[in-house]
Amino acid sequence: MKIIDVYQKLLDEFGKQHWWPTTSDNPKFEIVIGAILTQNTNWNSVEKAVANLNKKKLLHPVRLAKADIKTVQEAVRPSGFYKQKSERIVNIAKYIIENFGGDVDKFLKKITREELLAIKGIGRETADSILLYAGSRLFFPIDAYTIRFCKRFGLIDGDYDELQKFFHSELPKDLTVYNELHALIVKLCKEYCRKEMICTGCPLNDSCVYYKK
Partner DNA sequence: CCCCAGGGACATT
Partner DNA sequence: AATGTCCATGGG
Return the residue of 9, 11, 19, 71 that touches DNA, per CB under 7 A: 19
Distance CA 86, CA 69 (A): 7
| Residue 38 near DNA by CB under 7 A | yes
Return the residue of 3, 7, 20, 28 that touches DNA, per CB under 7 A: 20
Largest CA distance in the chain: 57
| Residue 90 near DNA by CB under 7 A | no
Cβ closer to DNA: 44 or 169?
44
| Residue 84 near DNA by CB under 7 A | yes
**Nearest approach, Cβ of residue 70 and DNA (Å):** 13
| Residue 133 near DNA by CB under 7 A | yes
Distance CA 200, CA 65 (A): 48
| Residue 99 near DNA by CB under 7 A | no
Helices (H), the chain: 3-14, 27-37, 43-55, 61-66, 69-76, 82-100, 104-110, 113-117, 124-129, 144-153, 160-170, 175-191
**Nearest approach, Cβ of residue 89 and DNA (Å):** 12
- DSSP codes of every residue in 23-35: -SS-HHHHHHHHH
**Nearest approach, Cβ of residue 142 and DNA (Å):** 9
| Residue 123 near DNA by CB under 7 A | yes
Collapsed DSSP state (helix, strand, coil) of residue 111: coil
CA distances from 7 to 95, 146, 147, 183 (A): 36, 13, 16, 10
**Nearest approach, Cβ of residue 50 and DNA (Å):** 11
| Residue 186 near DNA by CB under 7 A | yes
**Nearest approach, Cβ of residue 139 and DNA (Å):** 12
Cis omega (within 30 of 0) for bond into 20:
yes
**Per CB under 7 A, which region of 55-63, 168-176, 186-194, 201-209 contacts DNA?**
186-194
Distance CA 76, CA 211 (A): 40
**Nearest approach, Cβ of residue 34 and DNA (Å):** 7
In the complex, the residues that contact DNA under the rule CB under 7 A are: 19-21, 34-35, 38-45, 48, 77-78, 80-85, 119-127, 129, 133, 143-145, 159, 186, 190, 194-195
